[in-house]
Amino acid sequence: YKFRRLDQRTKVNHLLHAVFQNDLVQCNSSLNVLYRRIAMHPTLINMNVYLSCLSILLLKLKNDSDFQILQLKPIITDFIHFHKAYHKKYSENFSSVVESLIILLIHWFKSIQLDSLLRSSASEYVFSILQLLDVDYIRLAKSLTPLDLDHYISILRPHIDSATLLQISKESAKVLSPDEEMLSINHYKELGRLSYSGLCKFISNTRFDKFDNGSKKPLYEIYKSLPKSKQLEFMNDYMNFNRKRELTIENHCLHLTSSNSPTHNTYSMQLSKMVGDWISHNVSVLSGLKSKLDTIDGQDKSSLADLSLEETHLLKYTAHLNFIPGPELVNLVINDLLTEALTSKDGHIGAAKFCKSLRSKFIQLVLRDKKNKHIYGQILKFMTEDDAIEFFSTLIKIMAPNCTINSNLVKDSQVYEARKLIDKVESDNDELFFEKSNDSYPAFLLIVSKQFSKHGKFERFYAIIKIHPYLLLEYQKYFELSEGMKTFLPMLCEPKPWVSPSDGGFLLDLKKIVASTSKFNLMVYINAAHESNQLESTYKALDVLGSTKWIIDTKMLKIFNQILDMDVPLFDIPPHLDKLRIELPDEPKREHFENDDQFTRYTRRYHRDVALRLKEYHGRRGDRIVLESIRTYCNAIDENGDMFFIPHNVDTRGRAYPMTSIVHHQNSDPVRALMRFWDMKPLGKNGFNWIKYHLAGVYGEDKLSFEDRIKFVDENIFNIRESAENPFYGAKWWQNADKPFQTLSYCFEINSILEYIESSSENRVENYLSRAPIHQDGSCNGLQHYAALGANKAGGKAVNLIPSEKKSDVYMSVLNLVKERVHSDFETKKNKDLAKVAYPLLDRKIVKRTVMTSVYGVTNFGAKLQVEERLTDYTKHLKTIRKQEGIALESGVLEDSEIRKLINQLSSYIANHILEAISTLFSEAKSIEHWMTKNCYRIITSYDLRTVKSFDSFDFFKGSYKNMMWTSISGFPVVQQYKSYYDRLLKTPLFMYRLRRPEVRERVDIVKHIHSVAPNFIHSLDATHMMMTALAAHQNNILFASVHDSFWTHPNEVEILSKIIREEFVRMYTSDIIRHMELDLKYTARDSFQLVWFNRTKHIQFAEQIDSLRQKFLRLTKVKPQSYNKCLAAELENPEKVLSLYNTYKPDVYLIKHNNLAAIYENKSTEKDAFFKISKKDYVPILIPVKILDPPSTGDLEIKEVLNSKYFFS
């Protein structure tokens, strides 16, 4: 809840403080104040605040065995009066509070069970309250535990009939599974807190050893060696054991801490003592502060006069200071500040974002106390993001100045190295790091920095926290100090089946089914879809994806460890943190320049160059830390050969994503190479060829046909075997691959197969047991869906929807069209010169990015930037070659400024031709895209009565409020949530924040909606195809994993899955998807009206009739658009008269677009809108029902041809 007045926040704060101090007298007084406020101002927010505060008190008391019922009676009396007055109008708000109160009274009743006389009067009292609150006896019984149910029946027995009592007795109570830890993790903690390394040690040290027989072999090897009858027993026992481990992991993974204990052998005692001093000093400061604030009466203004700015702000949050012990709160702030600053890829922390992250961790710590588990939802209401920013900003302002570095620790050479990490572009304040105060340097700077766009343009100032560069250099020697605070690890047991939007995946429901930063409105639609059983196929598909069993490949892990341990790792992997260096250019000196202007210009360029190198340095630090986290986890899993699972959820389009943080198959090349299936299957007839085919693809020969890929591998068999047997010696063939880690993993696999065949004449290749996944990838899958939607034959051929002996390359198809168009410009006057410069530069790479992103809504400007980046790289490469070969630049060669200007012109020219070529190749599909964007605009700019009535005064001319939404053919609701934001100031002692917030009434961002609808629609289709394939594979007992449009399975099941992929694609597009979308849009727009305009002078009689209807609302002299608001609102409520006139006169009406240009409303989707400017003085607005445009015609592609297309997915 957001409080506008300080006294409101203070009252609630005092109440919360009293609750956690068990001060029922103060609780009674504070609740009575809130209750009386409702009598004066019976608003919904005041009622909810009262109910939430009461709920927190009741839940807290339920966990306390000792409380006085007499002290609670006034509170109960107030609530009964409140319930009687308002529960019928706001019934849903009361149920949880009523339940909590009755359960609390049952607990009180239990506590007096030895005194029969008192029990009798207590029973009378509790039953009277049940009656006064109109409690449904049977319904309440369903929510009670078995023990509570027994006492509940004892209360009711003297007062209700035996039939009802018998029915209650038969109710099965909800049995809560014990949440105690089954495996001890305490000895992996340091000072009571668990680090990421500690959690991984818990995984590696808790081995399932029932079937070991002392061998200590990898578990997957032990499982393989068992007879079938024993494998089932192994799996059942192993999964039960792992379920206990998983519960322990999930209970700790969200509030990990970096290790700053001196028990670490590698840890510097000096740094440890320094951080320890920071914490102990701040604990003392915070303790004194809490003592002072506890004595302050918020109502007594004279007592506020002596408070500092920080103390005044904290006065609103004294209850929050008591939610967790002071040392834990200080540890949370200091450790997170240190860890986040050390691991940041930017070299600093965004202050607002950091405070919001502390909020979630703070709540996790509160909930760690099991007694407080049930008050989570209520506490959250009293700690909004703004509250978190204010609360933690105040704590940081208090604590950060107490974190200092003794100057005796810092050598002059270290100061010199540390100064290199200063960024003078972002901020001019970094020099403050080297200003001593009491022989100490500040460990952190709290400053306002400049933020730039990726193109170097200044965007805004924003608040950041920077760590002293000396600490950055010192701490990078110790990876343990850079570990993440919150991580979602793969699961050790099969994910919980999805049964609702918030119940599935992780055992403790750590994430909901939809991964979105804007969940509130979206979850309304998701929950509605759940209630109508629309999500069943989504649930089942996610369960299939989560059921795949994985292991870590020991051989590849050894290689991964070796490369990370190299002084200069391969493949541009960042070196170990203590070896990571930054090379900076020499700072320009005035004496080297002819004048001040030249010196100033080069100095700016120097600072920009330094800023870019610093950004790259911090990025590489972050990359190395992630790789170390992956290494730590994978080594822990591989220690015992454990099995793991990847739970999945979806994004707002329905696309499936892993719920894990770093280790999953959608990660980069090294991580994919580390992952293998747990289940082994024989290669079968063609499995070996599929492994060869896959190896050629990851090496970089993915354009070759199937036969040519096999030939490529056979021709390189010596290199492949040498790579497997001596990865770091000899020709090192695998290191030249596009995906070197996956290439080496398949070199190992092929070498193992050949060794198996060579080891015995009885060993046949088809019997070799393999765990290797084989990928089948869509051929530019987004464009495949576009071509199928439009039944687009030319486009379908380019993306392999049509059978062909040779694999089509859509990028070459587009490139050839672009070349034709550019060549034809040789003869034009306007573009002749540009065309001749552009033509030699045209290649596959220059068109590839734009073709790839065209399906995702790339704009003309975005395409221009993509081409510009490629041309810039080309010119840089050319300059480097010239310099290396000692070729001097001839006279007449363009200066840098002229080159930039030419690149800018060429980029626009080439980008336009690429986009036009795509439109030519996929003409029908582009018509469908335009149809969707036009209808999207109509829907999001429409109005309905419910929206208008939610405003006190609605303005039809100041924005739109409807989201674009549709239901995918899988039943998943796709809701675009692009809102308009405004900047709001939040004043804290640390900074004055300028925060972007969605508008109160959430106007939509029209441009984002329009640009996103087509790509989001395509994403929803590829998500549906993937899920259909997953379910069909599961029905056929085919192992399945997916990375969007890349489908994985065993080598011997590739052909079966290949058939399923094609069949499901054909099945999907045999249904009329566009017709389905059209009906969906019509349903969405069914009660909505469009604001359109007609020409007053052209339709005089119609205008006069409309004016007559509106005369009581309008004075027709000097009518402004906003003058129409009242009459339009009235006409929306009763539209019959206006619509009758509209149908009689049938005027031409125009829709004004977001750029204030008008187009005829009745235009067909296939016709290009003719925009023109209108004068609103001559035009009159009216509301008419939204008209969804008819879809365009499609081409003549026969979708069943996909069934025989060899390279559709390959």
Q: Per-residue pLDDT tens for 25-39?
A: 888 888 888 888 887
Q: Note whether 662 and 630 are within 8 A (CB).
A: yes
pLDDT greater than 50 at residue 457: yes
**134 strand-pairing partners:** none
Separation of CA 895 from chain center: 45
Comparing CA positions, the residue from 359, 331, 218 lying closest to residue 275 is 331
Q: How far apart are CA 996 and CA 1005, in angstroms?
A: 14
Q: Note whether 511 and 498 are within 8 A (CB).
A: no
- What is the pLDDT, as a whole number, of residue 1164? 66
Sorting pLDDT into bands at 50, 70 and 90, what band is 93? Answer: low
**Which range has the worst mean pLDDT, 135-139, 403-407, 621-625, 732-736?**
135-139
Residues listed for the chain: 1210
Q: How far apart are CA 639 and CA 220, in angstroms?
A: 12
- What is the pLDDT, as a whole number, of residue 515? 77
Span 566-571, mean pLDDT?
A: 91
Span 38-48, mean pLDDT?
A: 78
Q: How far apart are CA 1153 and CA 1159, in angstroms?
A: 8
Whose tokens are 């030895």? That residue is: 114
Span 160-183, mean pLDDT?
A: 54
SS (H, E, C) 598-626: HHHHHHHHHHHHHHHHHHHHHHHHHHHHH
**Is 1047 in a helix, a strand, or coil?**
strand
Q: Note whether 649 and 522 are within 8 A (CB).
A: no
* 8-state DSSP, 1020: H
Please report, for residues 410, 426, 1084, the alpha-carbon distance to residue 348 in angstroms, rounded to integers and kept in the order given. 21, 11, 45
Residue type, 697: G
Please give the mean pLDDT across all residues of the chain.
83
* 8-state DSSP, 67: -
How buried is residue 228: exposed, middle or buried, by Cβ count under 10 Å (0-12/13-18/19+)? exposed
- What is the pLDDT, as a whole number, of residue 376? 53
| 1108 vs 618: which has the higher pLDDT | 1108
**H or E stretch at 1149:** strand 1149-1152
- What is the pLDDT, as a whole number, of residue 61? 77
Strands in 678-805 per DSSP E: 681-682, 769-770, 774-777
**Which range has the worst mean pLDDT, 24-38, 49-63, 362-376, 594-608?**
362-376
pLDDT greater than 90 at residue 678: yes
SS (H, E, C) 649-685: EECCCCCEEECCCCCCCCCCHHHHHHEEECCCEECCC
- What is the pLDDT, as a whole number, of residue 269? 65
Please report, for residues 22, 429, 603, 995, the alpha-carbon distance to residue 589 in angstroms, rounded to integers and kept in the order given. 68, 22, 9, 40
**Which range has the worst mean pLDDT, 106-115, 344-353, 493-502, 604-613?**
106-115
The encoded tokens of residue 900 equal 């930039």
Sorting pLDDT into bands at 50, 70 and 90, what band is 890? Answer: very low
- Tens-place pLDDT, residues 359-399: 877 877 776 665 555 565 566 666 778 888 889 999 999 99
pLDDT greater than 60 at residue 1168: yes
* φ/ψ (deg, to 5) at 299: -85, -20
Q: Note whether 459 and 453 are within 8 A (CB).
A: yes
Beta-carbon contacts of residue 114 (< 8 Å; ≥ 6 apart): none
pLDDT greater than 90 at residue 670: yes
Percent over 90 (pLDDT), the chain: 38
SS (H, E, C) 293-346: HHCCCCCCHHHHCCCCHHHHHHHHHHHHHCCCCHHHHHHHHHHHHHHHHHHCCC
- Tens-place pLDDT, residues 972-1024: 999 998 887 777 777 887 877 777 666 556 788 888 899 899 999 999 999 99
* φ/ψ (deg, to 5) at 1114: -120, 145
Comparing CA positions, the residue from 94, 12, 81, 23 lying closest to residue 53 is 12
Whether 1045 is catalytic = yes
- What is the pLDDT, as a whole number, of residue 264? 43
Q: Which of 848, 864, 926, 962 is catalytic?
A: 848
**Cα angle, residue 880 at apex, residues 878 and 886 outer, rounded to 5°:** 100
- Tens-place pLDDT, residues 498-555: 999 989 999 988 888 997 665 456 888 898 999 999 999 999 999 999 999 999 999 9
Q: Note whether 399 and 354 are within 8 A (CB).
A: no
Please give the torsion angle defined by the CA atoms of residues 265, 266, 270 and 273, in that order, rounded to the nearest 10 degrees.
-60
Highest average pLDDT, of 9-18, 471-480, 483-492, 954-963, comes from 954-963
- What is the pLDDT, as a whole number, of residue 460? 67
Percent over 70 (pLDDT), the chain: 85
Beta-carbon contacts of residue 1084 (< 8 Å; ≥ 6 apart): 939, 965, 966
pLDDT greater than 70 at residue 1195: yes
Please report, for residues 115, 124, 155, 963, the alpha-carbon distance to residue 120 in angstroms, rounded to integers and kept in the order given. 9, 6, 8, 58
Q: How far apart are CA 1147 and CA 1141, in angstroms?
A: 10
- Tens-place pLDDT, residues 207-260: 999 998 878 899 999 999 999 989 999 999 999 999 999 999 998 887 777 654
Residue type, 326: G
Q: Which of 23, 346, 509, 777 is catalytic?
A: 777
Task: Report yes or no on whether pTM surpasses 0.95.
Answer: no
Span 832-841, mean pLDDT?
A: 86
DSSP 966-1006: EE-TTSPEEE---B-EEEEEEE-SS-EEEEEEE-TT--B-H
- What is the pLDDT, as a whole number, of residue 230? 93
> How many helices and strands in the chain, by DSSP H and E?
46, 24
Q: How far apart are CA 615 and CA 426, in angstroms?
A: 11
**675 strand-pairing partners:** 552
The encoded tokens of residue 540 equal 């089942």
Comparing CA positions, the residue from 957, 955, 996 lying closest to residue 979 is 996
Span 96-113, mean pLDDT?
A: 75
Radius of gyration, CA atoms only, the chain: 34
- What is the pLDDT, as a whole number, of residue 3? 56
The encoded tokens of residue 16 equal 């919360």
Whether 651 is catalytic = no
| 309 vs 639: which has the higher pLDDT | 639
Q: Note whether 577 and 476 are within 8 A (CB).
A: yes
In Å, the largest CA–CA distance within the chain is 111
Beta-carbon contacts of residue 760 (< 8 Å; ≥ 6 apart): none
pLDDT greater than 50 at residue 200: yes
Please report, for residues 1095, 1146, 1148, 1171, the alpha-carbon distance to residue 1174 in angstroms, rounded to integers and kept in the order given. 9, 20, 13, 10
- What is the pLDDT, as a whole number, of residue 171? 52
Residue type, 1001: R
- What is the pLDDT, as a whole number, of residue 891? 36
The encoded tokens of residue 302 equal 């004279």
* φ/ψ (deg, to 5) at 388: -60, -45
Whether 174 is catalytic = no
- What is the pLDDT, as a whole number, of residue 426? 55
pLDDT greater than 60 at residue 624: yes
- Tens-place pLDDT, residues 1064-1099: 999 999 999 999 999 999 999 999 999 999 999 999
